[in-house]
């Protein structure tokens, strides 16, 4: 959520940002919220003046009573009561106007970084750099579920009968590999100085609206019927929510945390053939990293976070590349985002396995996350990034480590988590 002062004083900047995100239908909201804010501030000023008048009259009552002028005091009391009734109406009006201002401000997108490429959708994202040499073996690589099935590692049919499409049973060494990747990612981030955390897997609605836009919320979140609780789509949601309504001493920043959680997503819409199996699913597990820091440090942390994901995949000999997300592909709260994509030898192209985002102070404003420094109280900046999400990461892992006989090599870094195994047969 933007600072209302920024919108009020720089409406052209806000409107140009909306145009850069190809959301022209939101342009009228800028003038509308400025007018509502003007009315809200005028009502607030009138209410403040009325309170001052009422306080002055209240003091007069005491003085008159002390002088024995009871009738005059009663007349002043009537005036106080009249002003109190009118003040109550003003306060209700102010509350309604401010609610409308907040509602609109929650929809106006965050100001993107100046160096974000302008584009309508993810087809216009820009490749930044490649890491590792992509290899296409001489033999044909099967679809990832076929690889898993040959290793007795997945049961999709049973999952459909139990929960429907978009779910799975992982079995045997594939299930063990899944857990090994999570454990390795956890220790990888701990070694980089992050504090490990297992958060709540359900959050309240005020946290949901604090960490994401309404559009994202509708597309992603599962609500618990009859309760003010939602299943998390990623642990970022509850991890950032951890700091709601807090004033953090500047000396305690940055907060660098890595969290494990299951994730639950609706994943609405039709999906292509390459998104079958365990690529796009309703339930998965993930290791995440989040940072809460001072504004002047957020760009530096952004670079560190996506680099962590690149380094983890390279430690497992998986080629990756980074993509700068264009303006139209950025969610409304994001300032800047980089996707990490892994190489698929079967498809002979890269596919997304993680996303790193800098949200500036958008989440902090919504959740009232401040820090207290020498220059006063300020909103913190929040960032998040995927360390690894094994179901999707497993696709890249299996394809890049598959042998012609159907066995799968285990990189040295993962062997301690696989009981010393160097191959799955």
DSSP conformation letters of 346-397: TTTEEEEEEEEEE-TTHHHHHHTEEEEETTEEEE-EEEEEEEE-HHHHHHHH
Number of domains in the chain: 2
| Residue 115 forms part of a structural domain | no
Q: Is 37 exposed, middle or buried (0-12, 13-18, 19+ CB in 10 A)?
A: buried
Domain assignment present for residue 110? The answer is no
User: Which of these three, 105, 130, 152, is where a domain ends?
Assistant: 105
pLDDT at 8: 95
Asked whether 151 and 173 are in contact (CB, 8 A), the reply is yes
197 and 96, same domain (yes or no):
no
Residues 89 and 151 in one domain: no
Q: Which of 379, 385, 378, 377 is nearest to 362 (CA)?
A: 379
Same domain, 415 and 319: yes
The reply to whether 34 falls in a domain is yes
Cβ burial, residue 268 (10 Å; 0-12/13-18/19+): exposed
User: Phi and psi at residue 353, in whole multiples of 5°?
Assistant: -125, -5
**Is 238 inside any structural domain?**
yes
> Do 172 and 305 sit in the same domain of this protein?
yes
Write down the residue that tokens 């699913």 correspond to: 281
**Interatomic CA distance for residues 233 and 203, integer angstroms:** 10
> Where among 105, 138, 172 does a domain terminate?
105
For 256, the domain range is: 122-424
Q: Tell me, what's the pLDDT at 79? A: 77
CATH code at position 74: 1.10.287.40
**Confidence (pLDDT) at 257:** 98
Which residues of the chain have a pLDDT value below 70?
A: 74, 76, 268-275
pLDDT given at position 273: 52
Instruction: Count CB atoms within 10 A of the CB of residue 28.
Output: 11
What pLDDT, in 10s, does the model give residues 271-326? 555 557 788 889 999 999 999 999 999 999 999 999 999 999 999 999 999 999 99
pLDDT of residue 83: 74
CA–CA gap between residue 80 and residue 67 (Å, rounded) = 19
In a domain, 412, yes or no: yes
**Token pair for residue 332?**
């409304």
| 306 and 404 belong to one structural domain | yes
Report the pLDDT value the prediction gives residue 160, as an integer from 0 to 100: 93
Looking at the fold, whether 83 and 128 belong to one and the same domain comes out as no
Element (H, E) at 342: strand 336-344
**Residue 113 domain-assigned?**
no
Q: Coil, strand or helix: which one is 219?
A: helix
Residue 147, pLDDT score: 96
Q: Among residues 105, 132, 152, which one ends one of the domains?
A: 105
Contact 312, 192 (CB under 8 A): no
- E strand or H helix at 130: strand 126-131
Q: 377 with 302, same domain?
A: yes
- 99 and 140 in a single domain? The answer is no
Give the model's pLDDT for residue 10.
96
Q: Rounded to an integer, what distance in angstroms lies between the CA atom of residue 382 and that of residue 239?
A: 10
**All residues at 6 or more sequence positions from 210 whose CB lies less than 8 Å from its CB, including other chains:** 240, 241, 244, 363, 366, 367
Indicate if 77 and 134 belong to the same structural domain.
no
The CATH number covering residue 392 comes to 3.30.930.10
Same domain, 201 and 310: yes
Q: How far apart are CA 54 and CA 223, in angstroms?
A: 47
- Same domain for 78 and 192, yes or no, is no
pLDDT given at position 54: 73
Helices 172-191 and 298-315: crossing angle in degrees, nearest 10, is: 140
3-state DSSP assignment of residue 424: strand
Q: Taking the complete model, does pTM exceed 0.85, yes or no?
A: yes
Residue 414 domain-assigned? yes
DSSP-derived pairing of the beta strands 230-231 and 222-223: antiparallel
Any domain includes 348: yes
Question: Do residue 79 and residue 45 come from a single domain?
Answer: yes
């Amino acid at each position: 959520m933007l600072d209302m002062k920024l919108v009020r004083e720089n409406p052209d900047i806000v409107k140009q940002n909306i145009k850069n995100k190809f959301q022209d239908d939101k342009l009228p909201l800028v003038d509308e919220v400025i007018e509502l804010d003007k009315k809200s501030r005028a009502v607030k000023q009138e209410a403040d003046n009325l309170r001052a008048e009422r306080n002055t009259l209240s003091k007069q009552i005491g003085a008159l009573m002390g002088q024995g002028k009871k009738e005059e005091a009663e007349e002043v009391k009537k005036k106080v009561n009249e002003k109190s009734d009118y003040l109550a109406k003003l306060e209700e009006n102010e509350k309604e106007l401010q609610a409308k201002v907040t509602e609109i401000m929650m929809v106006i997108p965050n100001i993107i970084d100046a160096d974000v490429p302008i584009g309508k959708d993810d087809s216009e994202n820009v490749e930044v750099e490649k890491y590792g040499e992509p290899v296409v073996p001489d033999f044909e690589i099967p679809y990832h579920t076929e690889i898993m099935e040959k290793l007795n590692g997945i049961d999709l049919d049973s999952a459909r009968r139990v929960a429907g499409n978009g779910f799975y049973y992982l079995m045997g060494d594939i299930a063990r590999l899944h857990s090994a990747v999570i454990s390795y990612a956890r220790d990888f981030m701990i070694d980089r100085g992050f504090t490990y955390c297992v958060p709540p897997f359900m959050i309240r609605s005020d946290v949901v609206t604090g960490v994401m836009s309404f559009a994202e919320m509708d597309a992603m979140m599962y609500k618990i019927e009859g309760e003010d609780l939602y299943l998390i789509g990623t642990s970022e949601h509850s991890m950032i929510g951890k700091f709601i309504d807090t004033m953090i001493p500047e000396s305690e920043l940055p907060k660098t945390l890595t969290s494990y959680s299951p994730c639950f997503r609706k994943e609405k819409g039709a999906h292509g053939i390459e998104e079958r199996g365990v690529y796009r699913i309703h339930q998965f597990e993930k290791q995440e990293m989040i940072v809460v820091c001072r504004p002047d440090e957020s760009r530096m942390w952004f670079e560190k976070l996506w680099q962590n994901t690149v380094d983890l995949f390279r430690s497992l000999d998986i080629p990756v590349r980074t993509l700068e997300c264009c303006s139209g592909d950025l969610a409304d709260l994001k300032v800047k985002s980089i996707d990490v994509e892994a190489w698929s030898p079967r498809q002979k192209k890269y596919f997304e396995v993680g996303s790193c985002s800098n949200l500036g102070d958008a989440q902090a404003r919504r959740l009232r996350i401040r820090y207290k420094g020498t220059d006063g109280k300020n909103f913190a900046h929040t960032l998040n990034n995927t360390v690894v999400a094994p179901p999707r990461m497993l696709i890249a892992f299996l394809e890049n480590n598959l042998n012609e006989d159907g066995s799968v090599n285990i990189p040295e870094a993962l062997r301690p988590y696989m009981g010393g195994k160097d191959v799955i047969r």
